[in-house]
Structure 1
Amino acid sequence: MFIKKSIFGLIVFLSITMAAKSQVKIAFQVSFTEPQAHYAEVEMNMAGIATKNYVDVKMPVWTPGSYLVREFAKSVEGFGATVGGKAVKAEKVNKNTWRVYTAKANAVKINYRVYAFEISVRTAFIDASHAFLSSANIFMFPAGMIKTPSTVKIIPFTGWDKVSTGLEPVAGQKFTYTAPDFDILYDSPLEVGNQDIFEFTAAGVKHEVAMYGGGNYDKERLKVDMAKIVEQETAVFGENPNKHYTFIVHNYAQGGGGLEHLNSTVLGASRNAYSSERGYQGFLGLVAHEYFHLWNVKRLRPIALGPFDYENENYTTNLWIAEGFTSYYPNKVMLRAGLINPEGFVNANLGGIGTVMNTPGSKINSAAESSFNAWINPAYRPSENGNNTFISYYSKGQVIGNLMDLEIINATKGAKSLDDVMKAMYLQCKTLKRGYTDAEFKAMVEKVSGISFTNFWDKYVTGTVDIEYAKYFAYAGINVVNENEGKSIPYLGASVARTSVGTGKVIIGSVSRGSGAWNGGLNVNDEVVTIDGAPAEMALEKMSQITSKKVGDVIKVSIVRDGLKKDLDITLTANPAVRFISTINENATPLQLAVRKKWFGN
């Protein structure tokens, strides 16, 4: 009887608590009184909160998809609160939390400003021409109420007349949108201004493209080619889970990068690069990468990536799948869509292998370790020694996806591919309503392929062995050789960067592990004075012509370090870099032809 009453009491308590939370109403209003100074004014109204004497509101410290604690709270100023029109006490209690003393009032209005002046796809940026609102950088959430719905009303600055976002509009209320919870809100950036908008429909989904910054893009060509990418990627997974999708494209003199969201993406592009074939294909590759995230990582995701903890790091060893496979698939998709040819596809994959093998850190850092260490990734926090200690989970994951695809196709004699794994894992995550574990992903690979992948995992996922490129490409009847194999090419192993234009100074920018420069004690930031007696203004040229020497030769390098002159004797080592050449095997077996056909996408 006691147990029954306790359970009944708990149910009643939970019901009351849930009902109370469901009655909480949160409404944001964002306006811009000084966009030229890079500010957004945010008003946050909360009602139905009369449960205790205060309410805590928090600013996220990072944004999903970009694994770095960015401390968005640093951009907040002018925080204040009112109840019934009267100011109430508000204080900051930790780096990203403000406590508002409401005295159990039912409603409170909070006002604060956000300074936004960092151009990237993951951070808010505001100026006189537009406002890009990366939501985790703008909106605070009440502690313990991540699952609470909210509305967002945008009041554009004078002369701005458009808003582009993946959020659902509120009927009858201009520039007002709704989010069922803060996970959706933080996954939905907003572009406000006078962006150039065009649309296309693909896979039964309406797509909006919002172009900011101008550019020499051809809308009609983009509509056709972007639609091809959407159709091919939807075919991999068998369904497109969206009703609508928004591309926010920021065109700058020099731009790049992208960030995925549930039904939108933000892309950085160079405004005048669309007219060159290389630039155009580069943009389409970025589109293909970020759109593939619609499934891979947003829905087919590692178990650690959702629900998110917005105040701390979220660790996973599987970013080599989430980002790496998403780096592998764009070339595959573009080949199937007719946007690149088979030679370009093969060379792109060999180039990816070369990048990994030519990075010293690939011998130190595994794909799983690289994923787990994303939060201290040298790409986000640059380090002169990064290449010696770290391999990108993008690069290594792309290679693993390539090898795994060929292994599965070969094992099933052309019947199955990595596509079947991705689709099955997507459906599993959808059914279980949670992310996958590393063991579950490996089990699905083995189920689809019919063979064990334990050795593969030990080598390429948790290990750091050299890549058996010839073996895997031979599955498809493609011969690959390392042009540098067997050669003894001397190199110094240091890169240089010219500084103080006009002074002739040459400064060391990086030193490669195991090279002559590394062994001989040449350091980053050393100023090169002479190499074998050649003066500073000739040093850069001499370093690029070091191949006139032999492996084992000793060169004399004079440097200035911390204002003191120093002479180094450096013994040249052999250049370990690989350089691939591929040829089609004209005598390919029927199995090799079947593998190639499946790999290329028929």
Structure 2
Amino acid sequence: MAAKSQVKINFEVSFKEPQAHYAEVEMNMSGIAAKNYVDVKMPVWTPGSYLVREFAKSVESFGATANGKAVKVEKVTKNTWRIFNAKANAVKINYRVYAFEISVRTAFIDASHAFLSSANIFMYPAGMIKTPSTVKIIPFGTWDKVSTGLEPVPGQKFTYTASDFDILFDSPIEVGNQDVFEFNAAGVRHEVAMYGGGNYDKERLKVDMAKIVEQATAVYGENPNKHYTFIVHNYAQGGGGLEHLNSTVLGASRNAYGTPRGYNGFLGLVAHEYHHLWNVKRLRPIALGPFDYDNENYTTNLWVAEGFTSYYENKFMLRAGFTPQDGFVSGLAGAVGTVMNTPGSKLMSAAASSFDAWINGAYRPNENSRNTFISYYSKGEVVGLLMDLEIANATKGAKSLDDVMKAMYLQCKTLKRGYTDAEFKAMVEKISGMNFTNFWAKYVNGTDEIEFAKYFGYAGIDIVNENAGKSTPYFGATTSRATGKVIVTGVARGSGAWNGGVNVNDEIVAIDDVPAEALVEKMTQISSKKVGETVKVSIVRDGLKQDLTITLTNNDAVKFKTTIKEDATPQQLAVRKKWMGI
């Protein structure tokens, strides 16, 4: 039997019909065991995006040859092809991949470029994840650039190598005529590949992106990469990002760079995804690597992996000078408000949200998600804030969450594996010198009300709910205008609309006999009432008209105002300084 180290795998990707959104993939394997068949598999998901996407559905025209002759191929599972190679030690496989979904996590090809999300493009031999491979890209027509975090093969144009399939699947590839520029920061060469044009200023981005890199590196004390690639897709309206080991893919709006909000929004996205090269790619939950590409990979720690990354996005923007202190504080208060104003946060913990990422919320929302689900991004960001302030206060400003993150990164590096929830908790307790069992019970595994005044108070910050004590009538249904009609799109748990039987997809015809179209903007028939009073809501459901009597509830949404106290105590100032890091 041939040793796995003798197996050689080479891919060649070309584009005969990019305008029709196809990639042509040739996969050559040699040195394989002398068996009657070999299985090759397509991943069903891509790391960093926690949803089974069934990439095999985009594969067509699969065929194979051995010794120059076509051999039998049989599909044996949804993502496995069996090649009957009659004990030949080499086989050539050809298949096409249809790629027409614009996102940072899925392949997309058209006449202007090809974005290859590698888990969406490349297959692997069953049981040989650790086998090296090479990838040769043949650009189409006048395309003349390839951008990727993969290592180039010396002397071979557009040819790259991956030490194993985990590396290959973690390395997206941009092919086309992208605008490429570079900058150096933290001792690392960074390449930025801009597709789609835009009103960005390359020289300004070089300086400002470098500031983000330096601030992130400062937390961990080292940057683990020799080179790093940003692939940026600029669309009329774009957003989102996906992290990789030494690269990232960002979605951006091409004409938003010219406004302060748009520019800082892009830098915030850079800060988020760049932080992932530590938090999640190396400092990672134990379940997230080595990966099972056939099934869901469950963890209860996405509140750290994603939520803390969202939290640190704020810290890096502050420390790099892009966000003022009051903006930093008010932004985090707003994040607390977002969680408290989401009904699902009262039902779902941060740990449960992480575990259910595969079936709930962000990737598979429905009309009731807001009532049952809270994002591990949102809740994790708030947990990170509370934990950071708790540590800084317990140590009188000597330590912060930064110290925990660095220590956990070094622990994962030393142990060469991810962490468990218990190990993360133990490190928090070691750094802070206090027991976090109650904190975990309340904010990680529980759904307790957030003690916002207590935690902001540690840093000498007053926080007030401006809606406290107000009596504001609340209907509780969100609507949209579709084909001239007012259609219910959501109903808030516990609201008057919820209690009174308003359904999603109902058409609201009138409220107290006033046509709904006239009320959509101001809902005067609601605002003129008092909490506890009723309104008659006329609806059409499934073509039938009916009237509902709705008792208005109180709007208990929070709205925070924060003030950074100038007369803070010495300990509060010490906590604030360590927390902010400026």
Partner of 2:445: 462
Q: Is 1:235 aligned to residue 215 of structure 2?
A: no
Shift of 1:542: 5.0
Partner of 1:513: 493
Q: Is 1:408 aligned to residue 388 of structure 2?
A: no
**Where in structure 2 are the equivalents of 1:42-61 lying within 5 Å?**
42-61=25-44
- Count of residue pairs brought into register by the alignment: 582
Question: In structure 1, the residue corresponding to 2:103 is in which secondary structure?
Answer: coil
Partner of 1:571: 551
Does the aligned pair in 2 maintain the 1:506–1:539 contact within 8 Å? no
TM-score, normalised relative to structure 2: 0.99
Partner of 1:430: 413
Shift of 1:535: 1.1
Question: In structure 2, the residue corresponding to 1:557 is in which secondary structure?
Answer: strand
* CA distance, structure 2, for counterparts of residue 470 and residue 487 of structure 1: 19
In structure 1, stretches of 5+ residues that fail to align are 1-16
> Which of 113, 128, 142 pairs up with 2:125?
142
Partner of 1:255: 238
Q: Residues 545 and 201 of structure 1: is their aligned pair in 2 closer, same or farther, counting only changes over 3 Å?
A: farther
* CA distance, structure 1, for counterparts of residue 73 and residue 32 of structure 2: 16
* CA distance, structure 1, for counterparts of residue 166 and residue 566 of structure 2: 53
- The one-letter amino acid paired with 2:259 is S
* CA distance, structure 2, for counterparts of residue 466 and residue 453 of structure 1: 17
CA-based RMSD: 0.9
> Which of 3, 10, 14 pairs up with 1:27?
10
Percent identity reads 82
Partner of 1:178: 161
TM-score, normalised relative to structure 1: 0.96
Partner of 1:331: 314
Partner of 2:63: 80
Shift of 1:440: 0.2
Partner of 1:591: 571
Does the aligned pair in 2 maintain the 1:531–1:542 contact within 8 Å? no
For residues 78-114 of structure 1, give each alpha carbon's deviation from its aligned partner in whole angstroms, at most 9, with x where no partner exists: 0000112210000111100000000000100000000
- The one-letter amino acid paired with 2:533 is D
**Where in structure 2 are the equivalents of 1:147-546 lying within 5 Å?**
147-500=130-483, 503=484, 505-541=485-521, 543=523, 546=526
- The one-letter amino acid paired with 1:558 is S
* CA distance, structure 1, for counterparts of residue 529 and residue 8 of structure 2: 74
* CA distance, structure 1, for counterparts of residue 378 and residue 525 of structure 2: 29
Of 62-71 and 587-596, the range deviating more from structure 2: 587-596
For residues 303-341 of structure 1, give each alpha carbon's deviation from its aligned partner in whole angstroms, at most 9, with x where no partner exists: 000000000000000000000000000111111111111
For residues 218-272 of structure 1, give each alpha carbon's deviation from its aligned partner in whole angstroms, at most 9, with x where no partner exists: 1011000100000010000000000000000000000000000000000000000
For residues 502-545 of structure 1, give each alpha carbon's deviation from its aligned partner in whole angstroms, at most 9, with x where no partner exists: x3x10000000000000000000000010011113213135366
Question: In structure 2, the residue corresponding to 1:354 is in which secondary structure?
Answer: helix
Q: Residues 465 and 545 of structure 1: is their aligned pair in 2 closer, same or farther, counting only changes over 3 Å?
A: farther
* CA distance, structure 1, for counterparts of residue 305 and residue 450 of structure 2: 21
* CA distance, structure 1, for counterparts of residue 221 and residue 343 of structure 2: 39
Does the aligned pair in 1 maintain the 2:361–2:374 contact within 8 Å? no
Does the aligned pair in 2 maintain the 1:529–1:539 contact within 8 Å? no
Shift of 1:599: 1.4
Q: Is 1:101 aligned to residue 84 of structure 2?
A: yes
Question: In structure 1, the residue corresponding to 2:521 is in which secondary structure?
Answer: helix
* CA distance, structure 2, for counterparts of residue 443 and residue 223 of structure 1: 39
Shift of 1:585: 2.2
* CA distance, structure 2, for counterparts of residue 601 and residue 379 of structure 1: 32
- The one-letter amino acid paired with 1:298 is K
> Which of 97, 101, 112 pairs up with 1:118?
101
* CA distance, structure 2, for counterparts of residue 340 and residue 536 of structure 1: 42
Does the aligned pair in 2 maintain the 1:483–1:581 contact within 8 Å? yes
Question: In structure 2, the residue corresponding to 1:240 is in which secondary structure?
Answer: coil
Does the aligned pair in 1 maintain the 2:519–2:525 contact within 8 Å? no
Q: Residues 23 and 102 of structure 1: is their aligned pair in 2 closer, same or farther, counting only changes over 3 Å?
A: same
Shift of 1:548: 2.1
In structure 2, stretches of 5+ residues that fail to align are none
For residues 449-482 of structure 1, give each alpha carbon's deviation from its aligned partner in whole angstroms, at most 9, with x where no partner exists: 0001111101100000111110000001100010
Does the aligned pair in 1 maintain the 2:56–2:79 contact within 8 Å? yes
Structure 1 runs (4+) greater than 4 angstroms displaced: none
For residues 53-102 of structure 1, give each alpha carbon's deviation from its aligned partner in whole angstroms, at most 9, with x where no partner exists: 00000000000000000000000000000112210000111100000000
